[in-house]
């Protein structure tokens, strides 16, 4: 875990032993895997100091030196702040994890017209704290899916987390209530997913689709009601992946009428219950559990803190 202290717009970071001898260029390129454009911005705008003076990006760093990075500058907001109660699961200067409610889009499709998304609510929340910065969505949840969702609070954290997501280093665990009882109580669904050419928003298992892998484990089943609660975790992140895969196995999610689920409730019974990742700056292991805010009757057998 790296030692950091925030001082105004700057973060002070103590160079760790494992960076000894590396250049700042190598830290950005190899350790953080930051985009070239972002690295260039930090370099040209002198946003990095070493022990209080302008850093030479090509000279080796030494453990114990203090790297100062200007990360917390104000930005013109890209969305209109709009108040909505939000449930914060974790927050620091760099990231924020929210327990997203159902029936809410993650981000606006039209920033001028749509002001009621989670991103707008976060903009209001941060602005009320005096933080006029754009929030950066790392991954997404469908409008009717609830649970833990991760945002970055500045560009460098966002870039690092984007790369971690691409490398499958952010683990997302979901719970779903589905129709039917499984023959196999745990398994791995490896079936590519592509667009359904007969339906604008629907996806389907397709040999020509993108690789998609979902792991599942049955947590509870009611043979009389023909309902199962399953834990799912992803190795890939395709649109509607869990919904498509569970439907493909003959166990559509309850309420998910798009993929054949029974309309017993007013949304698909899918909840992002747990989120695990290493902090993009400090490298600390972060684990967030998201309680179910609705559908308690359906998920009453499940304690998300034991997942």
- Each residue's pLDDT tens digit, 209-267: 999 999 999 999 999 999 999 999 999 989 999 999 999 999 999 999 999 999 989 99
Average pLDDT over residues 38-58: 95
C-alpha distances (whole Å) from 194 to each of 45, 167, 198, 203, 253 are 42, 21, 12, 6, 19
* Residue range 161-171, pLDDT digits in tens: 999 999 999 99
CATH superfamily of 172-272: Pseudouridine synthase (3.30.2350.10)
Q: What percent of the chain has pLDDT over 90?
A: 89
Burial class (CB in 10 A: 0-12, 13-18, 19+), 123: buried
Confidence grade of residue 271 (pLDDT, cut at 50, 70, 90): very high
Going by pLDDT thresholds of 50, 70 and 90, the confidence category of residue 290 is: very high
DSSP-derived secondary structure for 184-240: SSEEEEE--EEE-TTSSS-EEE-TTSB--EEEEEEEEEETTTTEEEEEEEESS--TT
Least confident of 97-101, 140-144, 244-248: 140-144
Report the distance separating Cα 306 and Cα 82, nearest Å. Answer: 34
- Tell me whether residue 54 is exposed, middle or buried, using C-beta atoms within 10 angstroms of its C-beta: 0 to 12, 13 to 18, 19 or more: exposed
Banded model confidence at residue 113, pLDDT cuts 50, 70, 90: confident
Which has the higher per-residue pLDDT, 115 or 88?
88
Q: Is the pLDDT of residue 111 over 80?
A: no
Q: How confident is the model at residue 28 (pLDDT cuts 50, 70, 90)?
A: very high
Task: Report the alpha-carbon distance of residue 211 to residue 290 in Å, rounded.
Answer: 28
* Mean pLDDT of the region 278-285: 97
**How far apart are alpha carbons 209 and 215 in whole angstroms?**
18
Over residues 170-222, the pLDDT tens digits come to: 999 999 999 999 999 999 999 999 999 888 899 999 999 999 999 999 999 99
Mean pLDDT across 65-84: 93
What is the chain's mean pLDDT, rounded?
Answer: 95
204-235 as b/e, with b when 16 or more CB fall inside 10 Å? bbbeebeebbbbbebbebeeeeebbbbbbbbe
The CATH code belonging to domain 4-70 is 3.10.290.10
Token output for 246 = 């569970």
CB count, 10 Å around CB of 252?
Answer: 23
Confidence of residue 92 (pLDDT cuts 50, 70, 90): very high
Catalytic site positions: 142
Q: How far apart are CA 12 and CA 75, in angstroms?
A: 21
Pairing of strands 270-278, 146-152: parallel
Domain range summary for the chain, segments of one domain joined by +? 4-70, 172-272
What's the CA gap between 235 and 189, in Å, rounded? 10
């Amino acid at each position: 875990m790296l030692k950091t202290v925030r001082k105004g717009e700057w973060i002070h970071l103590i160079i760790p032993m494992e960076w000894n001898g590396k250049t700042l260029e190598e830290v950005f390129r190899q350790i953080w895997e930051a985009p070239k454009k972002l690295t260039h911005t930090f370099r040209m705008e002198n946003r990095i100091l070493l022990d209080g003076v302008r850093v030479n990006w090509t000279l080796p760093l030494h453990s114990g030196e203090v790297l100062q990075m200007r990360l917390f500058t104000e930005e013109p907001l890209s969305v209109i702040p709009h108040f909505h109660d939000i449930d914060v699961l974790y927050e620091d200067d760099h990231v924020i994890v929210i327990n997203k409610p159902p029936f809410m889009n993650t981000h606006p499709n039209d920033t001028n017209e749509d002001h009621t998304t989670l991103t707008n609510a976060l903009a209001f929340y941060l602005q009320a704290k005096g933080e006029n910065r754009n929030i950066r969505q790392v991954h997404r949840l469908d409008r009717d899916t609830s649970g833990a969702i991760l945002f970055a609070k500045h560009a460098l954290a966002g870039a690092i987390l984007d790369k971690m997501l691409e490398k499958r280093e952010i683990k997302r665990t979901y719970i779903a209530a589905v129709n039917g009882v499984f023959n196999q109580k745990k398994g791995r669904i490896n079936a590519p997913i592509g667009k359904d050419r007969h339906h604008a928003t629907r996806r389907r298992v397709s040999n020509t689709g993108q690789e998609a892998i979902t792991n599942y484990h049955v947590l509870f089943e009611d043979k009389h009601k023909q309902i199962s609660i399953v834990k799912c975790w992803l190795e890939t992140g395709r649109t509607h992946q869990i919904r498509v895969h569970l439907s493909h196995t003959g166990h559509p999610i309850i309420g998910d009428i798009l993929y054949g689920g029974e309309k017993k409730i007013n949304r698909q019974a899918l909840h992002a219950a747990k989120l695990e990742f290493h902090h993009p700056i400090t490298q600390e292991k972060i684990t967030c559990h998201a309680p179910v805010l609705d559908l308690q009757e359906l998920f009453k057998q499940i304690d998300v803190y034991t997942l």
